[in-house]
Amino acid sequence: MNTTPANVLEVDGLVVAYAVKGRRAQPFRALHGVSLDIRPGETVGLVGESGSGKTTLGRAVLGLAPVAEGEIRYAGRVISRLSARERRALSAEIQVVFQDPYTSLNPAMTVGDILTEPLLVSGTARASAEERVRGLLDQVRLPADAAHRLPREFSGGQRQRVAIARALCREPRLIVCDEPVSALDLSTQARVLELFVEIQERTGVAYLFITHDLSVVRCVSHRVAVMHRGRIVESGEATAVTGDPRDPYTRRLMLAAPVPDPERQRERRERRRSLKAAAAE
């Protein structure tokens, strides 16, 4: 692993252990010594099947999962054991976009209030906050009058744009994106993914991009890390990992991914056959 402080994020030998109810019960280890780094302006895609530990890693970066061993560093500073107050101070710099745009926005607040609130809390004057909100709505391609409306008046894709704008409010250097397009239909997914890429090009923000969808990870990531049972089993350049995976689990994951293109399906059937033949030898 690269340990230069030039990285925006460094995860080093991370073990997360959840408490389990029952007097004799042992804590459940969801991550077993995970290491990963993210450079400024880079997207690292985190893939793996359900239960492999992707969300746990994202939550640990956000200070929301119980770290048992190892370390998380943000811009060279250890952040894995911060007090609640220290964490809050960091919230401008590390943000999150969740999967479900239907539950992640306060339904009783207008979009304008949702976006100005974090700015006002951090001491920005109302007039500058409102100015900033106009800029943010423009950045995420929502009309200026969106500020006066409630989340329920928007489609899923538009709500996710609001959630992205909220994450961008205080100019973070890192955003944890936890399945941010999984709840959207395919054509909306493509437009929201484009927006993520466009924002990164403009602002230099880095993403830890969690998804179970390989076509999504291929589309947005510079590098990819593959998780299996709480461990990273393979990582590298996105094209290499998704195009020519080395690890048997990654290969199985690629083969299991739905690919509608008939040519790709034929290709996959052949690869499956040759893998089977190799395994039988």
Ligand X SMILES: Nc1ncnc2c1ncn2[C@@H]1O[C@H](COP(=O)(O)OP(=O)(O)OP(=O)(O)O)[C@@H](O)[C@H]1O
Question: Shortest Cβ distance from residue 239 to ligand X (Å)?
Answer: 23
Question: Shortest Cβ distance from residue 89 to ligand X (Å)?
Answer: 25
Burial of 116 (0-12, 13-18, 19+ CB in 10 A): buried
Nearer to ligand X, 20 or 125 (CB): 20
Of the ranges 34-42, 47-55, 81-89, 184-192, which one interacts with ligand X (CB under 6 A)?
47-55
Site string for ligand X, 203-222 (x = CB under 6 A): ---------x----------
Q: Does residue 18 belong to the site contacting ligand X (CB under 6 A)?
A: yes
What is the rounded CA–CA span in Å between residue 54 and residue 48?
7
What is the rounded CA–CA span in Å between residue 50 and residue 64?
19
In the set 4, 26, 50, 83, which binds ligand X (CB under 6 A)? 50
Question: Shortest Cβ distance from residue 152 to ligand X (Å)?
Answer: 26
Nearest to 206 by CA among 13, 36, 30: 36
In the set 1, 3, 13, 51, which binds ligand X (CB under 6 A)? 51
Of the ranges 1-9, 48-56, 117-125, 257-265, which one interacts with ligand X (CB under 6 A)?
48-56
Nearer to ligand X, 15 or 133 (CB): 15
Beta-strand ranges (E) seen in the chain are 9-18, 28-38, 43-47, 67-74, 77-78, 94-97, 174-178, 206-210, 223-228, 231-237
DSSP 146-179: GGGS-GGGS-HHHHHHHHHHHHHTT--SEEEEES
* Contacts with ligand X, residue ranges (CB under 6 A): 18, 28, 30, 48, 50-56, 212
